[in-house]
């Protein structure tokens, strides 16, 4: 949408008629007092680059399916997929102070949960020991060099 910036963009689709009905030969369920939040940031491979991002036709169809499945009478009561979309009742939006930021409603998974902290901290500890040992040797070399030219450091 904005080719020269990496700001997040929110697209709002507003619909005053969310009642159960038939539209274009499709049955729609009653979606009154519901909002569908969709966050497509994870579908962008260039998240950290300022670059033109354009979804291909297949991706657009997947996005459309999320929306049309939400409208469908077969939509589950809990319509969500972590890090992608979630259907939210108006009462929850009220509880969160009417904020409409998708990340307030869509679950994001902490990727750090699968880290073996003992193993990682052991590696870091060894690296730090090596760094401290090298630093100590450097200090000794500096002291020796200054001593060699007659300016000992005490």
Joined together, the tokens standing for residue 154 give 């005490």
**pLDDT tens per residue across span 64-88:** 999 999 999 999 999 999 989 999 9
Percent of the chain at pLDDT exceeding 90? 60
Q: Are 83 and 108 in contact (CB under 8 A)?
A: yes
Task: Read off the pLDDT of each residue in 114-127 and give the average, rounded to a whole number.
Answer: 86
Give the whole-angstrom CA distance, residue 74 versus residue 89: 17
Joined together, the tokens standing for residue 72 give 């469908």
CA dihedral 127, 132, 133, 134 (to 10 degrees): 90
């Amino acid at each position: 949408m904005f080719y020269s910036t990496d700001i997040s963009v929110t697209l709002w689709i507003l619909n005053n008629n969310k009642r159960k009905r038939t539209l274009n030969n499709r049955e729609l369920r009653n979606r009154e007092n519901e909002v569908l939040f969709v966050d497509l940031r994870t579908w962008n491979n260039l998240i950290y680059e300022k670059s033109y991002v354009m979804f291909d036709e297949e991706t657009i169809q997947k996005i459309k399916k999320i929306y049309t499945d939400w409208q469908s009478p077969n939509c589950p009561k809990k319509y969500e997929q972590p890090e992608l979309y979630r259907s939210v009742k108006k009462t929850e939006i009220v509880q969160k102070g009417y904020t409409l930021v998708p990340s307030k409603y869509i679950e994001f998974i902490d990727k750090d949960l699968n880290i073996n902290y003992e193993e990682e901290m052991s590696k870091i500890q060894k690296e730090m020991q090596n760094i401290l040992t090298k630093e100590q040797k450097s200090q000794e070399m500096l002291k020796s060099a200054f001593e060699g030219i007659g300016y000992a450091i005490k």
